[in-house]
Amino acid sequence: MCNWARAVDETTPVTRYPEGVSPFGVMDMCGNVWEWCLTTWDADGEGPRLLRGGSWSSDSLLSLRVTNRYAHDPNTRLNPGDRNHATVGFRPVWLPLSGW
What values do phi and psi take at 14, rounded to 5? -55, -35
DSSP per position, 13-27: -GGG-GGG--TTS--
pTM metric for this prediction: 0.76
Q: Inform me whether the pLDDT recorded for 84 exceeds 60.
A: no
Partner residues linked to 35 by β-bridges: 52, 89
What does the domain layout of the chain look like in residue ranges?
14-89
Q: Inform me whether the pLDDT recorded for 83 exceeds 70.
A: no
Q: How far is CA 82 from the centre of its chain?
A: 18
Model confidence pLDDT, tens digit, residues 15-59: 999 998 989 898 888 888 888 888 888 888 888 888 898 888 888
